[in-house]
Structure 1
């Protein structure tokens, strides 16, 4: 059985394609993003779909369309939308593809009811199927109709062979009823809000479905309070227990809370080209891991806003049907900027109509030299259609490296280094918050966005942790400065909100932000070995070495797993446990994650391409034979990470 998540995803998309012939297809944003990484819209159209539309109550289908396929996360709102579309169309054959396990859907359909007996007996999926089929039949309203409900686990994308992400869970974050830290040390799922509880179950059900398809029987390890809840569902859910009885390939799953280490994701020190591109370019509409690329350089259209302008669709980075582009995308994660530029120039030179200098004769590839070849293809639609992918990737990198935003990021990088040097040299925090307050006050003169400075502030609090304490005077000064800044830039900080924010509301929000920052500093206080992420570097100075990075290094080079990494022991029958106690001569030592051939490290709450590169490099240089997969809910930028943790 393959341990490739890319193969897992492809296998289940094939199941989808088998059902869409002659159908009008409706899919939600998360499913559409997963489809993009499998090959995109043309996979559906060439596979026989008569139309493809977004899952929206405002969408309908033509009267002659009699069959519909709905690809959905099966939330209550989406199920209502499905019914609305059916009622406004003329379907007689409807297939509902739930990307979420039907036992979880059943729990959500019966929220507040005691259905524990049905769940424990393993009847929840069958009961959910009955309910959903009845819902579809009622919406169709015809006696002669066909309905089908099926679970197909569409929830992963694979940027590389060793990295996978879960777009449906992009908003999942380690929170406890909206707070960063739980109020009680004794926690269960009902410590969370209803939505948070649902998201934990959904993520666990997706991982369970993936393990089922890959024949994996896992040992579960976790670090962080939220990860313990995900681990608990995976350990004790009836469907997970049943699956482990049938699967035979041993694996280790390590789940880590992002909030234990926010330094890596809020740092503007970016070596990975993909991180730079994602920090500068806007997101592709409806996507969490793809960017929108301005393609007006290749055609006659003049685009003002590439994510909203309808006359020219934006380009993107990942092109699943082009092996050369898939390779370049991996280079954007794992290679240096210089190597990526040479790779792009080499591929572009083969299609260059102006015959630019050979890559072998160039000492350095500049954004201008790449841009020259891209611009030379303008209006040549035969070249554009045959080499669309590499042209889009090249345009993305050129726009990123020539953007004014790059100078802002470089300034923020230097500010981060100053903070690290100051703290490493003396552990003195007296000037750090004062510096940040001054930066916020002078942000317009320095042309620094407020949200980037907030990301820098989160970085500082996570970096210092409990090792350094800030004075009340400096924190009060920071709160006052933030209040004024929020008042001045409320609309840019909260673009979706309408209306005016009063000074009192801004004071209140600033107070909440500072309280949240204090919580950020406390996130590693429960750890023993990994309280500090500020590490000395060879040749002097210091840098940030994240919790996941430190943990992986320790696991790769030590026989005993660190105490901060907790394990969830599988429940055993009472008789077997009793016999073990009677016959074992000495207690069994704690299991090591690398005892198993497959190891999956899953960070809940986002990861950067740079972190993926470093983790993968540690595995490669260690020489271990294990297959190590790196996973998270999404790729994240410093500003996005700041918004997640501060709940902005």
Structure 2
């Protein structure tokens, strides 16, 4: 049994490669992103695919292309696209690879029908879902003589390192209740969520269940936060998952945590990890949520006017699965310091076989300029570029990020964060922080700061203050007025839901909504007992520092003294305690509460995103603690400050 999520992902792709010989392969964006982390397009072409296309209704195939493989999330829109492709092609053999469990697909396709629950309980849903999809494929093929297959292959994970994994298809899963951070419902169940949120919750739970089944893991579920409670409930109570646990033998502790309990870490511009800087500065690789688009024009002869919109030159990227040296560098970008990453890149670039290239030197410091100079030596030498394409893309990505004008903005925002932290620590009762931020919003253009970055800073401040600081209502009114004007002026650059006319009245309402959401963010940790504060005195004795909820949790988790994990609830605790009390069989010696380290493997899964820096710090806490347990860190995505702001606030 392997506890490697990377091995789990590779095994899934092997199942795909076994089916693609002689086929035209159609992929959705999420599947394409997962493929990128297993080797990319050439894995399909070298494996026997005759063509690879995007899963879109406008795609067509030639008459002599008779076999198709569709790799899909199997939602209604994608099924309609598959129908259009089949109707306009001449296939005799179609394979639909569903990346989502067929019992979940069956439930969604039959939403509202009476006998769905009975079929699920009887364990027939997966077979019924496969049959239903096969009939749909046949009907789209106009009943021509053909073979139609439906198979479930769990493609949903990528593994940036051996201990970190992400789930791109579930990047939009976020701890909200019908788009709200909190809910007024007295009791929580799946119907507290909107229909789309409920579907995504079920899909994520099903995906995790399949991963546990493949890895032969039987989980003890712990959770922290109301949304995580719902996800834990689905995993704990579904008949399919209960049946699976009876057959699995390797115990694992699954800890699910709501990102919204602590939004400080993901909205901070104090980025020690170089990967966080690159992700925050460079545009996303087309169709991807994790990798970035790297401008390759510095080493090519093409005259690129605007990248990445100029299509004459394809963008580069950071991750190269088939190059072990690049995989190692990517790991360093998460787990090493910026200085170490720069030396690593410089040493690898120094080995390029280019006459003009400077040889390895003993440097005290490697700057972006020194790396850029050695990259420039390979310009136009396409033999060298082809042989060292991975490291050149990574080096260019790092150089572009470190030389970006956004770096100056981030330094300013980082300085503001530190000022706010010390101000809040010094004066928790009354503070002028909001007045300062209001002035900054009004003068943002003079300081070359975007409104979205300042909104991320506001979330950072409110999450940092928590329920410990009560901001002055007049200061909040002043802030709301500043936001109203800023939203009116910058509405074209904001990612705002839906279309609307930017009238002063509408912008005023939006600014009021933002203030309400900020207040909710400050109260998110009220459900906790021990981890209510993330503002802690520095160990040096001077000043204060941010210590996130995740960091405090992991520090307590691996503490050899095993302090009580007050805020970490075990899924079965409540009902078992109730039964023991009700049956009056409590003994004088109370049984010790379940602890995650009782199991050899622990999976910490953060719903709503995580940063590379958090992954590094959490992993470092584990390896320096001396515990023997394997601790894996998972999340729905890597997230930047602006992305975290967009997730938390509905503009």
| Normalised-by-shorter TM-score class | over 0.9
1:26 to 2:26 alignment? yes
Separation in 1 of the partners of 2:373 and 2:249?
Answer: 55
1:110 to 2:107 alignment? no
Deviations 1:209-244 (A, max 9, x none): 000000000000000000011101100111111110
Give the alignment partner of residue 605 of structure 1, picking from 605, 608, 611: 608
1:461 to 2:462 alignment? yes
Aligned to 1:296: 297
Aligned to 2:323: 322
Pick closer, same or farther for the CA change 1:496–1:256 going to 2, 3 Å.
closer
Separation in 1 of the partners of 2:562 and 2:269?
Answer: 35
Deviations 1:3-39 (A, max 9, x none): 0000000011000000000111001000000000000
Aligned to 2:58: 58
Equivalent residue runs for 1:477-492 within 5 Å: 477-492=478-493
Cα deviation, residue 356, structure 1: 5.0
Pick closer, same or farther for the CA change 1:644–1:572 going to 2, 3 Å.
closer
Pick closer, same or farther for the CA change 1:360–1:379 going to 2, 3 Å.
closer
Q: Which contiguous aligned blocks of 4+ residues in structure 1 show a shift greater than 2 angstroms?
A: 302-308, 354-360, 494-500, 558-561, 570-573, 580-588
Aligned to 1:548: 550
SS of structure 2 residue aligned to 1:444? coil
Cα deviation, residue 526, structure 1: 1.1
SS of structure 1 residue aligned to 2:165? strand
Aligned to 2:78: 78
Contact 1:37 1:158 in 2 (8 A): yes
Cα deviation, residue 422, structure 1: 0.7
Deviations 1:284-330 (A, max 9, x none): 11100010000001112222332322111100000000000000000
Separation in 2 of the partners of 1:131 and 1:72?
Answer: 16
SS of structure 2 residue aligned to 1:439? helix
SS of structure 2 residue aligned to 1:443? coil
1:119 to 2:120 alignment? yes
Separation in 2 of the partners of 1:319 and 1:257?
Answer: 31
Contact 1:3 1:214 in 2 (8 A): yes
Aligned to 1:629: 632
Separation in 1 of the partners of 2:618 and 2:650?
Answer: 28
Pick closer, same or farther for the CA change 1:318–1:474 going to 2, 3 Å.
same
Deviations 1:136-180 (A, max 9, x none): 000011341111111100000000000000000011100001110
Stretch deviating more after TM superposition (341-350 or 561-570): 561-570
What value does the CA root-mean-square deviation take over the aligned residues?
1.9
Separation in 1 of the partners of 2:327 and 2:87?
Answer: 41
Q: How many residues are treated as equivalent by the alignment? A: 645
Aligned to 1:258: 259
Separation in 1 of the partners of 2:446 and 2:281?
Answer: 20
TM-score, normalising length: structure 1:
0.97
Pick closer, same or farther for the CA change 1:572–1:269 going to 2, 3 Å.
closer
SS of structure 1 residue aligned to 2:525? coil
Contact 2:497 2:650 in 1 (8 A): no
Separation in 1 of the partners of 2:502 and 2:637?
Answer: 32
Aligned to 2:520: 519
Structure 2 unaligned spans of 5+ = none
Contact 2:351 2:359 in 1 (8 A): no
TM-score, normalising length: structure 2:
0.96
Give the alignment partner of residue 569 of structure 2, picking from 566, 576, 587: 566
Aligned to 1:345: 346
Deviations 1:170-221 (A, max 9, x none): 1110000111001123110011100000011011001000000000000000
Separation in 2 of the partners of 1:496 and 1:180?
Answer: 16
Separation in 2 of the partners of 1:470 and 1:304?
Answer: 48
SS of structure 2 residue aligned to 1:147? strand
SS of structure 2 residue aligned to 1:303? coil
Cα deviation, residue 496, structure 1: 8.8
